[in-house]
Amino acid sequence: MNESSDPIRVQREKIANLVSKGMRAGTALYVVASTIFFIGFATGFTRAQTYIIVALLVVGSLLLAPAMVFNYGVKAANRADRDDSW
């Protein structure tokens, strides 16, 4: 069967693309939260900075945690296909 017509591989590729976007977005939110943290550390934290940092970390975690789990799953499925070890 042609790999491009295999519906499982097509679906896995879609999941891999979503995982990639989720990991990039989660990491970006962590970077922004860290930047705001260091600015606040240097200048004195305001209440707004604290709320923004916490919100960014929570949303980043909600994006990053499942993306990491699905990333391992996609890699394991690709490895099992490659090694024919199902």
User: Which residues span the domain enclosing 62?
Assistant: 7-75
Q: What is the pTM of this model?
A: 0.83
Q: If you average pLDDT over every residue of the chain, what do you get?
A: 93
In the chain, the number of structural domains is 1
The Cβ of residue 67 has, within 10 Å, a number of other Cβ atoms equal to 19
Asked if 64 and 33 count as a contact pair (C-beta separation under 8 A), the reply is no
Is residue 65 one of the residues assigned to a domain? Answer: yes
For residue 56, the model assigns a pLDDT of 98
Is residue 32 one of the residues assigned to a domain? Answer: yes
- Quick: pLDDT tens for 15-32: 999 999 999 999 999 999
Is residue 50 one of the residues assigned to a domain? Answer: yes
- Quick: pLDDT tens for 41-62: 999 999 999 999 999 999 999 9
